[in-house]
Amino acid sequence: MKSYSESFNKRSRLNRIPEINEHAGGILAPLDPDGLTDRLAASLMIQNDFYPCFDWTFPPPLLNKSEAPASVEALFQHPSVIPENFSLYLHSPFCKSLCNFCYYTIIPGRGVEKAERYVDYLLREMEMYADIMAGKKCESVYFGGGTPTFLDDHLLTKLFEGIHRYFNIDVDAEISIESSPGTLPREKIELLISLGVNRLSYGIQTLDEELLAGMNRHYSVTEAMQELDIALKLVGNVNVDTMYGFENESDTALLDTLTKFHEAGIPSLSIYALDRQRDNKDKALGLPPKDEAYEDKIRIFSEADGFLFRQGYRQVLQNVYAIPEKSTYRHQVRRWDNLTLIALGVAAQGYAPRTPYQNFPALKSYYRAIDEGRLPIVTVDHLSAEMELIREVSSQLRFTRIDLDAIKRKYGVDLDIVFGDLIASLIELGYLKRELNTLRMTGDAAYYNNIIPMLFAPDEFTQRLMGLPEEYLETFPVPSVMVQVGCTQSAPIEISLSE
Ligand SMILES: C[S@@+](CC[C@H](N)C(=O)[O-])C[C@H]1O[C@@H](n2cnc3c(N)ncnc32)[C@H](O)[C@@H]1O
Ligand code: SF4
């Protein structure tokens, strides 16, 4: 028997499944199901402009407000829902230059001279987690940035040796590294393969010369394609990142770029909508900031989606299209399963059971914490058991799809009962699709894909969003939208769910 708190599953009730209301002692007047659908439709009319999503994690890291735990043991105080496995994320903040669109905190150019010291600290950080992860198997390693392939060969070697020294890396583990043109000569690829790398994620963004010229990336389309060609021959399992939504972008820039990558045989393509949340300064108070390119982005995305489907790619994540038999994407997909994710390096985001966390974003504080023998964590969030479940539901809904049977086995919760009316309304509105025992969001949900998953969150989530300081509320439109959507909720009831 699993018990969830009073504020859980409040909006599902009841008209469609009267026995739940009976179980709750009939304390709630049943909602009118058509009323719910109408209210949802009206509430969801409010657009938000962070397409395809305003944050890559749920709950958003801006809710990470608690102080770092005193010890590794305290960080891992809750049992994992996948106890025998974990993943690793390593972060290298160094890049050749700063691309003018980039929303990551990076150290460009000569800053890489600091990398020697940085790698030593990464190894010390690995050592801190070694004991608690002993006996568990690491099923994927993702080395991201920044541009990790910008690091010298001896540093890459040191890091990969460190991973094997401190962790039990499964022989079949997926080991990915991010790269960008100009940092990946043939010899480096050969070195990476010898170190166990079996997947490359290559940021090329566009093959439109004019667009590329304005990005501060310092290579030509021909050079990028030559490097990519070698990577594809040697590694095979290659993903390429592309972007769209730039001001001076032609109508067909993304499609032309994707066509060329498809013709070159790239088995996995990620498409990112330009996100300007970090430089969007002129927002009107109280109103969600409007992205002028929003409608164009939706159109470009849906054209790309259709094109990639026709070429045999399948949407494996919200923005990742892959030919399944020619590529792997385990790390990205497992990220939404509440699998433990050890985060190493500045600004890295990790997940300990029921405790999402984030490392210090600045080198100085990161180094200081490690020197003092502390994990270099700046903040954590503490999730209730139901919030952990909804973390998985929301993330899977948005990025992959929910397997209802798997959720039932893992958490003892039948989402069809708990959220029966919400699911039915979203299907009726054309935003959710049921395929056997899985649910996924449809293309029509594109406008609302920040909001719809949050409808499943407990009240505590909305309350915490609304409790954020004003500067956050100005920056993120979601809380104000949530309040309006929140009117679909009924009062809390207490309910226990049998496994
Ligand atoms: C961490 S970066 C690493 C890739 C590599 N450094 C490169 O750029 O070639 C991962 C991807 O994030 C995407 N990205 C960076 N800034 C972005 C922004 N402002 N909006 C949307 N996507 C962005 C780019 O597609 C980039 O390839
Ligand atoms: S190379 Fe990649 S991580 Fe570095 S600034 Fe450019 S987009 Fe950002």
- Ligand 1 pocket residues where CB is under 6 Å: 95, 101-104, 144-145, 147, 178, 180, 203, 205, 241, 243, 272, 274-275
* Confidence bin at 458 (pLDDT 50/70/90): confident
Ligand 2 closest atom vs CA 95: 4
* pTM of structure: 0.89
Ligand 1 binding pocket mutation candidate from 207, 241, 280, 317 (most atoms within 8 A of CB): 241
Decide which of 334, 357, 378 is a domain's last residue: 334
Is 373 within a domain? no
119 shares its domain with 40: no
122 shares its domain with 249: yes
Query: What percentage of the chain has pLDDT greater than the value 70?
Result: 80
252 shares its domain with 183: yes
Is 360 within a domain? no
403 shares its domain with 461: yes
Q: Which residue has the tokens 């923005």?
A: 319
Residue 437 has pLDDT above 50, yes or no: yes
* Confidence bin at 32 (pLDDT 50/70/90): low
12 shares its domain with 127: no
Q: What pLDDT digit, counting tens, does each position of 400-411 carry?
A: 889 999 999 998
**Taking residues 369-379, what's their average pLDDT?**
96
Cβ contact 237:199 at 8 Å: yes
76 shares its domain with 217: yes
**Taking residues 436-465, what's their average pLDDT?**
80
Q: What is the pLDDT of residue 45?
A: 66
Q: What 8-state DSSP symbol labels residue 148?
A: G
Ligand 1 closest atom vs CA 273: 21
Decide which of 313, 334, 355 is a domain's last residue: 334
* Whole-angstrom distance, CA of residue 283 vs CA of residue 184: 40
When mean pLDDT is compared across 43-57, 105-119, 296-310, 436-450, the lowest value belongs to 43-57
Q: What 8-state DSSP symbol labels residue 289?
A: P
**Taking residues 202-214, what's their average pLDDT?**
96
Query: What percentage of the chain has pLDDT greater than the value 90?
Result: 57
Computed over every residue of the chain, the mean pLDDT equals: 84
Residue 253 has pLDDT above 80, yes or no: yes
Q: What is the pLDDT of residue 16?
A: 42
Structural domain harbouring 234:
63-334
Is 375 within a domain? no
Asked whether the CA dihedral 362, 363, 368, 370 is positive or negative, the reply is positive
* Confidence bin at 103 (pLDDT 50/70/90): confident
76 shares its domain with 145: yes
Q: What is the pLDDT of residue 471?
A: 65
* Confidence bin at 169 (pLDDT 50/70/90): very high
456 shares its domain with 489: yes
Which is more confident, 353 or 2? 353
57 shares its domain with 92: no
Q: What is the pLDDT of residue 53?
A: 46
124 shares its domain with 15: no
- Ligand 2 pocket residues where CB is under 6 Å: 95, 98-99, 102, 104, 106, 145-147, 180, 203
**Taking residues 53-67, what's their average pLDDT?**
70
- Return the CATH number at 226: 3.80.30.20
Is 436 within a domain? yes
Ligand 2 binding pocket mutation candidate from 112, 180, 218 (most atoms within 8 A of CB): 180
Q: At what angle do helices 221-235 and 186-194 cross, to 10 degrees?
A: 30
Q: What pLDDT digit, counting tens, does each position of 282-341 carry?
A: 444 444 455 677 778 888 988 999 999 999 999 888 889 999 999 999 998 898 899 999
* Confidence bin at 472 (pLDDT 50/70/90): low
Per 3-state DSSP, what percentage of the chain is helix, strand, and coil (rounded to 5)? 40, 20, 40
Task: Give me the number of domains the chain comprises.
Answer: 2
Decide which of 334, 358, 375 is a domain's last residue: 334
Which is more confident, 255 or 451? 255
The DSSP string of 434-463 is EETTEEEE-GGGGGGTTTGGGGGS-HHHHH
Ligand nearest to the CA of 149: 1
Cβ contact 458:386 at 8 Å: yes
